[in-house]
Amino acid sequence: MIYISGKRDDRDVLTKFDMEGNILWETVYGYAWDKSFPETRCTPTIEDGRIYIMGGLGTVVCMDTGSGEFIWQKNTHQEFEGEFHRWGMTESLLLTDKAVISSPTGERTAVVALDKRDGSLLWESEPQGGVRSYVSPILIEHNGTKMILITSSEDIMAVDPESGEVFWSIDLATEYGFDGRRNNTNTPLYHNGEILTTSGYNAEGVMLKLSPDGKSAEVKWHNGALDVHHGGIVLLDGYLYGANWINNGNGNWVCQEWDTGKVMYEEKWHNKGSIIYADGLLYIFEEKQGHIGLMEPSPEGFKLISSFRLESRSGPYWAHMAIFNKKLFVRHGEVLYVYGIEEG
């Protein structure tokens, strides 16, 4: 099945499709973000016949996948005194064994855990500074220690998924960003005891190295070569691939070594955009004109295999692509495009 969030008037709507594009149900699940760039941003997380999604003004909703009916709802932003950043909500909810994890972020708390069954509060962490960023929480495990990585507008932090204890917190804005709050947008990457966090606007990418028990972290390297705006980043065979930020309308495609931060190449191709990986190949989607490219991943240079352009429609091409069952799914505005990508 395909689940797509969208905005109709002032409401967020979740729609369920089958793989032939037939609509099975639609459910209004909250009020949409109505200020700067008023669009729906949050995507659903699905497990065991339940959908968990956040509305644009902070209501966490649990729905039944079969019917689209509500099971429970709770406004974490309002109840836990969260603070919006300038472009609102973009959080996709994290699920642990027992909990739904959300990060209201503000003076009261940084992150909360709700019981998956009924939405009741399991724990809330101590506040760490900053307001909401545009990064979803992720769960990692390092030498047997599980931790949730949370990114605010100022800090990256690690939180115990069982208790909400903050293991460590590192200020990104003061040392590695620009004056004021960072517009953090990209999910951190974890690999082999190290964590990479990156953001646009000439803010530096920062590589952190965890202590053996994961209860502390220190900076290994930092530079501004791959300051990804909001298109994501891929780690493959020891190299990072993504697009950097020159200004809000431009950026180049970059390969950077994970271990040292060394830049392997920087190449202009239409514009910056998003990137995903599947079956040994990179798929890139530039955001200004809708060009989609197929790339061979190689630190030796930008190796474009083929490309095509999505039909012209209004607005930037910001939705990230997805791949399932040899099909490429591309969302733009009110349209979902599905392309067959199987060889032969």
> Would you kindly state where each structural domain of the chain is located, as residue ranges?
225-344
Confirm if 160 and 141 have CB atoms less than 8 A apart: no
Cα separation of 200 and 244, whole Å? 7
Sorted by sequence, the CB contacts under 8 Å of residue 172 that are 6+ apart come out as 151, 154, 155, 156, 182, 184, 197, 199, 203, 206
Q: CA end-to-end span of the chain, whole Å?
A: 25
Domain 225-344, CATH: 2.40.128.630
Q: Predicted confidence band at 174 (pLDDT cuts at 50, 70, 90)?
A: confident
In terms of Cα–Cα distance, which of 112, 122, 43 is closest to 82? 112
Residues 6+ apart with CB under 8 A from 86: 36, 183
Q: Reduced to 3 states, what is the DSSP secondary structure of residue 173?
A: helix
Question: Sheet of 166-171: strands edge to edge?
Answer: 138-142, 145-151, 155-159, 166-171
Return the structure tokens found at 312.
């012209």
Mean pLDDT computed over every residue of the chain: 94
Judge contact between 315 and 332, C-beta under 8 A.
Answer: yes
Q: What is the three-class DSSP state of 35?
A: coil
Q: Are 199 and 190 in contact (CB under 8 A)?
A: no
pLDDT score of 179: 56
pLDDT band (50, 70, 90) for residue 344: very low
SS (H, E, C) 299-313: CCCCEEEEEEECCCC
Tens digits of per-residue pLDDT, 93-129?
999 999 999 999 999 999 999 999 999 999 999 998 8
For 26, 47, 142, 249, 251, the CA distances from 195, given in Å and listed in that order, are 38, 27, 11, 28, 24
pTM strictly above 0.75: yes
Torsion angle, CA of 79/81/85/88, rounded to 10 degrees? 10
Residue type, 25: W
Give the amino acid at 105: T
What are the φ/ψ torsions at residue 221 (nearest 5 degrees)? Answer: -155, 165
pLDDT band of 39, cuts 50, 70, 90:
confident
How many angstroms separate the CA atoms of 291 and 171, rounded? 36
pLDDT digits (tens, 9 = 90+) for 16-34: 999 999 999 999 999 999 8
Q: Give the confidence band of 36 by pLDDT, cuts at 50, 70, 90.
A: confident
Query: How high is the pLDDT of residue 178?
Result: 58
* Cα–Cα distances in angstroms (integers) from residue 122 to residues 10, 171, 338, in the given order: 31, 27, 40
Instruction: Write a three-state SS string for 225-237.
Output: CCCCCCCCCEEEC
- Helix, strand, coil shares of the chain, percent, nearest 5, are 0, 45, 50
% of residues, the chain, pLDDT over 70: 99
User: Per the structure block, which two tokens stand in for 155?
Assistant: 């800090």
Quick one: average pLDDT of 219-229?
Answer: 94
How confident is the model over 234-282, as pLDDT tens digits? 999 999 999 999 999 899 999 999 999 999 999 999 999 999 999 999 9
Residue matched to tokens 């909703």: 61
Give the helix/strand (H/E) hosting 78.
helix 76-79
- Note the pLDDT of residue 161: 97
* Under 8 Å between Cβ of 48 and 95: no
Distance CA 312, CA 54 (A): 30
